[in-house]
């Protein structure tokens, strides 16, 4: 095997080594003999340099007309399209999910690029009549400055694109610290922006770990905006770290997403949906279906069919087109998932399928976990309450729609939910009463499109949304402008009320 490539930080348009002098290896979770590359183990000095470069670049970037910024984003999205297959392969190697899904991940970045490129010619504000004569008023969006972005490994290109593209179109500059497990996909995304003509310093990449590289970014006084996707635990730390400086913080965190199946549902459709929702991406989506809340009248039949089908799922290296489910991301995650499976057993849930690591043949070189299904899960059990982030599904029987919705809402998270029913009245009741940021009808809990708001309620988020036009509200501030052309002092609320 050839020597692995060394990737450097991108600061002010230059590729530079970390001032720490340290690097780390990025390995393939499906086969740890495969080294993807050597990446910089960066520290606060690197963050300082990157923020300095981003501040400098901001002076010019914020003044470039937004349609011009949009043209660069548009070209970047076109380059992503051209390079989609290569980038999907890189992503499967570094992250593990199967090619069909990594192609989807790159596609999500392409979609976001085109969407935000178009916003370069909109970024609409309002004009509205004044209560005074000869006075004009409007509101415009203004950028905030340097945005610090911290992104997860499960959507290693899509999620950086959800943050970078809207930040840029409004006129901000960026320092991104990608997840240590998946930096290459961020490099690939940013490479397209650079090849599309992005000026140096507008986007800077600093790789490394949370405490040493993430934290100095979060607390840097010249970074007024922090966007983070990851665990609720880390989100809370970021909230505390940024409170004193009152930064703008967007947090996108955990989920414990329920799929409700009513007794009138099309069970063939449910079966396909739950397999995709629970075991797609090896269950490692914030939106993954982790609770199957099923009406008692159909729970027996559905469970039997589900176990029978899930038993045949092919796990392995995602580069093999026949494989349906790849590995989990790393050893620690494998330990977390198996620990939860143990807790499920101890608390009395009935293990119907899976339950342990898969290590036949070459699988032993990777972090594979068997698709796992628990039946007779009680709503209060740990596996029904906590986010596992792995291929583990809990089946919870219920007696009515009201009970199903009550169980669905009875967790600390509120990202995504779904209901399968052929009864339009039940569907509308669920759409109204499921307290999540996203609701699906007759589809699983995964598969959000980029032009609708993405985010969740309760411990999933802190009120912001990514995607949609709503994301622009996070990366900009409104400025209301009043222009008085009457040539005299006009006092609002006073002169016109007399
Ligand atoms: C995530 O799970 O972190 O809606 C993001 C979906 C994808 C994005 C998921 N488009 O499932």
What average pLDDT does the segment 107-113 reach? 98
Q: Do 208 and 357 sit in the same domain of this protein?
A: no
Instruction: Work out how many domains the chain is built from and give that number.
Output: 2
The rounded percent of the chain whose pLDDT value lies above 90 is 99
With respect to residue 451, please indicate whether it lies within any of the assigned structural domains: no
Mark whether 218 and 349 lie in a shared domain.
Answer: no
CATH code (residue 202):
3.40.605.10
- Please give the Cα distance from 257 to 417 (Å, whole number): 5
CA of 98 to the centre of ligand 1 (A): 15
- Are residues 56 and 125 located together in one domain of the fold? yes
Interval 192-236: pLDDT, tens: 999 999 999 999 999 999 999 999 999 999 999 999 999 999 999
Q: Where does the pLDDT of residue 168 fall: very low under 50, low under 70, confident under 90, or very high at 90 and above? A: very high
Q: Is residue 455 part of a domain?
A: no
Is the domain of 143 the same as that of 170? yes
Would the pLDDT of 496 be above 90?
no
Annotate 327-358 with DSSP letters as a single string: --SSHHHHHHHHHHHHHHHHTT-EEEE--SB-
Task: Confirm whether 456 is domain-assigned.
Answer: no
3-state secondary structure 246-290: CCEEEEECCCCEEEEECCCCCHHHHHHHHHHHHHHHHHCCCCCEE
The mean pLDDT of the chain is 98
Task: Locate the ligand 1 atom nearest the alpha carbon of residue 454 and give its number.
Answer: 4
The atom number, within ligand 1, closest to the CA of 288 reads 2
Residue 133's alpha-carbon distances to 329, 405, 484, 498, in angstroms, are 63, 54, 9, 14
Residues 327, 411 within the same domain: yes
Q: What is the pLDDT of residue 1?
A: 58
- For the entire predicted model, the pTM comes to 0.98
Whats the size of the chain, residue-wise? 498
Q: Write the DSSP string, 60-120.
A: HHTTS-HHHHHHHHHHHHHHHHHTHHHHHHHHHHHH---HHHHHHHHHHHHHHHHHHHHHT
Q: Is the pLDDT of residue 293 over 90?
A: yes
Whether 205 and 334 map to the same domain: the answer is no
Q: Among the residues of 196-258, which ranges form H helices?
A: 215-219, 232-243
Centroid of ligand 1 to alpha carbon of 450 (angstroms)? 10
Q: Output the CA torsion 270→400→390→160 (10° steps).
A: 80
Say if residue 320 is in the same domain as residue 203. no
Assess whether 271 and 352 both reside in one domain.
Answer: yes
Question: In a mutational test of the pocket of ligand 1, which residue from 185, 273, 287, 329 has the highest number of ligand atoms less than 8 Å from its CB?
Answer: 287
- Does one domain contain both 384 and 468? no
Of the pLDDT bands very low, low, confident and very high (cuts 50, 70, 90), residue 497 is confident
Instruction: Give the bridge partners for 142, in sequence order.
Output: 477
Is residue 498 over pLDDT 80?
no
Q: Give the range of the structural domain holding residue 392, as residue numbers without chain letter.
A: 257-441
Residue 388 lies in a domain: yes
Q: What is the pLDDT of residues 118-134, one digit of tens each?
A: 999 999 999 999 999 99
**Domain CATH code at residue 288:** 3.40.309.10
Query: Are the CB atoms for 390 and 278 separated by under 8 Å?
Result: no
Annotation says 252 is catalytic: yes
Please give the pLDDT value at position 2. 76
| pLDDT above 70 for 266 | yes
Residue 498 is assigned to a structural domain of this protein: no
CB-based pocket (< 6 A), ligand 1: 108, 154-155, 285-287, 446-448
Tokens of 220: 């840097």
pLDDT tens digits along 354-412: 999 999 999 999 999 999 999 999 999 999 999 999 999 999 999 999 999 999 999 99
Shared-domain flag, residues 273 and 286 = yes
Phi/psi zone of residue 123: left (φ > 0), alpha (ψ -120 to 50 degrees), beta?
Answer: left
CA of 88 to the centre of ligand 1 (A): 16
136-165 residue pLDDT tens: 999 999 999 999 999 999 999 999 999 999
Q: Are residues 190 and 292 in the same domain?
A: no
> Residue 471: which pLDDT band, with cuts at 50, 70 and 90?
very high
Predicted confidence (pLDDT) at residue 260 exceeds the cutoff of 70: yes
Instruction: Ligand 1, residue 449: give the atom nearest the CA.
Output: 10
């Amino acid at each position: 095997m050839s020597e692995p490539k060394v990737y450097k930080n991108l600061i002010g348009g230059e590729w530079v080594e970390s001032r720490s002098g340290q690097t780390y290896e990025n390995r393939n979770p499906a086969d740890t003999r495969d080294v993807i590359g050597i990446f910089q183990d960066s520290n606060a000095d690197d963050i300082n340099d990157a923020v300095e470069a981003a501040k400098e670049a901001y002076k010019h970037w914020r003044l470039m007309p937004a349609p011009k910024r949009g043209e660069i984003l548009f070209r970047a999205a076109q380059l992503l399209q051209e390079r989609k297959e290569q980038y999907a392969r890189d992503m499967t190697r570094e992250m593990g999910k199967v090619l069909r899904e990594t192609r989807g991940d790159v596609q999500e970045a392409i979609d976001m690029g085109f969407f935000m490129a178009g916003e370069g010619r909109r970024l609409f504000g309002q004009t509205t009549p004044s209560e005074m004569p000869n006075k004009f008023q409007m509101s415009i969006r203004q950028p905030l400055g340097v945005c610090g972005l911290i992104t997860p490994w499960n959507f290693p290109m899509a999620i950086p694109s959800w943050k970078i593209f809207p930040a840029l179109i409004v006129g901000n500059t960026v320092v991104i610290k990608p997840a240590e497990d998946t930096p290459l996909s961020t490099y690939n995304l940013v490479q397209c922006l650079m090849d599309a003509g992005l000026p140096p310093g507008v986007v800077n990449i600093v790789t490394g770990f949370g405490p040493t590289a993430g934290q100095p970014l979060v607390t840097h006084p010249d970074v007024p905006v922090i966007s983070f996707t990851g665990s609720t635990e880390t989100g809370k730390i970021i909230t505390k770290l940024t409170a004193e400086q009152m930064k703008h913080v967007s947090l996108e965190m955990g989920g414990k997403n329920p799929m409700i199946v009513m007794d009138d549902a099309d069970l063939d459709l449910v079966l396909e949906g739950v397999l995709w929702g629970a075991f797609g991406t090896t269950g490692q989506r914030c939106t993954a279906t982790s609770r199957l809340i099923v009406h008692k009248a159909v729970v027996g039949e559905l469970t039997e069919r589900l176990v029978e089908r899930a038993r045949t799922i092919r796990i392995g290296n995602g580069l093999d087109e026949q494989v349906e489910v790849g590995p989990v991301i790393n050893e620690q995650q494998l330990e977390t998932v198996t620990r939860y499976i143990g807790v499920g057993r101890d608390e009395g849930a009935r293990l119907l399928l899976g339950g342990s690591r898969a290590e036949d043949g070459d699988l032993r070189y990777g972090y594979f976990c068997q698709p796992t299904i628990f039946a007779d899960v009680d709503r209060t059990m740990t596996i029904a309450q906590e986010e596992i982030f792995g291929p583990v599904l809990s089946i919870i029987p219920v007696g009515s729609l009201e009970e199903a919705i009550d169980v669905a809402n009875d967790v600390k998270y509120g990202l995504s939910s779904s209901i399968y029913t052929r009864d339009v009245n039940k569907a509308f009741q669920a759409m109204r009463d499921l307290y999540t940021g996203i609701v699906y009808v007759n589809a699983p809990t995964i598969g959000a499109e980029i032009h609708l708001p993405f985010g969740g309620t309760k411990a999933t988020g802190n009120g912001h949304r990514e995607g949609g036009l709503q994301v622009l509200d996070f990366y900009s501030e409104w400025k209301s402008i009043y222009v008085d052309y009457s040539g005299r002092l006009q006092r609002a609320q006073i002169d016109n009320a007399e």
